[in-house]
Amino acid sequence: MAEIPAALVRELRQKTNAGMMDCKKALAETAGDMESAVDWLRKAGVAAAAQKAGRATAEGLVGVAHTEHCAAMVEVSAETDFLARHEAFQQFVRTLAELTLTTTGNIAEVQTLVYPGAGRTVSEELTYMVATTGENIRLCRTCVLSVSNGIVASYVHNTAAPALGKIGVLVALESQGDKDGLGDLGRYVAMHIAATSPQFLDIASVDTTALARERDILTAQAMASGKPENVVAKIVEGRLRKYYEDVVLLEQVYVIDGESRIAKVLETASASLGAHIHVAGFRRFSLGEVTVRQSTSLL
């Protein structure tokens, strides 16, 4: 097969807004004939899908899937809530979550997987979905959490169907404790995370740049009061404690009882279950948090 010039590929891309690899494939399939290549892309649904790629996707679903010691979560956005409520779209999100379970959670890895029953990759299936639904659809985020001992609990808020909703949370609890007890605890902690949206697990994991910026702001505010330097230092430390309570999971007040800190909740649960409980990690996806620029389009 003759080599397809790069200039010809660029020209086809400009005509159709399809991806470079799709354009190269179309030209290869049509012996470099430009008009035939355009028709090839249209028949494949690629050109139509690519034209929709820039349209806003404010709706969609977060989906969750589980195995015994592992859970996966995906965010798939669409243009309308009407599509998000459609069974075919919901099944697509559900299947992507299940496929993500077989990966490390890397979105690029998920894109290359074979979509069940379609004979296409996930990337190609998404292009097909765009072409057939008439809406722009994006796979925004994927993640996987796993534990060697314990459970990965999940919670889905604003559910549209089982394991599908607007907000999804995964919490990995490492422990030798009773699985049922861990499951109950994990679900409640996941509900807490859905409500409070912590940024960090513990104080040690707080981003140093963010912490330095917060300290500088608090110091400037305290110094403006005219108080002595030693008093300013105490004020800053007190306000940093409030900052930690806002952004650090283990320092937050548990929304379930309104008084205990999450660290204390875990300590009490560890004593109750007779085994130490460690939060190995958590992830929270809220639909629409990722902008179009940050999203990974599969087109």
pLDDT of residue 45: 62
Name the token pair of 119. Answer: 């004979």
pLDDT of residue 165: 96
Give how far the C-alpha of residue 74 lies from the chain's centroid of Cα atoms, to the nearest Å. Answer: 5
Q: Give the helix/strand (H/E) hosting 240.
A: helix 229-247
Q: Give the helix/strand (H/E) hosting 285.
A: strand 278-286
pLDDT of residue 2: 63
> CA–CA separation, 278 vs 185, rounded Å?
12
Count of CB atoms within 10 A of residue 201's CB?
17
Give Cβ neighbours of residue 104 (< 8 Å, ≥ 6 apart): 144
- Polymer length in residues for the chain: 299
pLDDT of residue 17: 64
Q: Are 277 and 270 in contact (CB under 8 A)?
A: yes
> CA–CA separation, 268 vs 150, rounded Å?
17
Residue 261, burial from CB neighbour count under 10 angstroms (0-12, 13-18, 19+): middle
pLDDT of residue 156: 97
pLDDT of residue 54: 53
> CA–CA separation, 74 vs 91, rounded Å?
13
Count of CB atoms within 10 A of residue 4's CB?
18
pLDDT of residue 55: 58
Q: Which domains does the chain carry? A: 6-51 (1.10.8.10), 59-194+282-286 (3.30.479.20), 203-281 (1.10.286.20)
Q: Give the pLDDT of the chain (299 residues) as one tens digit per residue.
A: 468 888 888 888 777 667 778 788 888 888 888 888 877 876 666 655 555 555 555 799 999 999 889 999 999 999 888 999 999 999 999 999 999 999 999 999 999 999 999 889 999 999 888 888 888 899 999 999 999 999 999 999 989 999 999 999 999 999 999 999 999 999 999 999 999 999 999 999 998 888 888 888 888 888 887 888 888 888 888 888 888 999 999 999 999 999 999 999 999 999 999 999 999 999 999 998 864 333 333 32
R_g of the chain computed on alpha carbons: 24
**pLDDT tens per residue across span 233-253:** 888 888 888 889 999 999 999
* pTM for this entry: 0.76
pLDDT of residue 42: 66
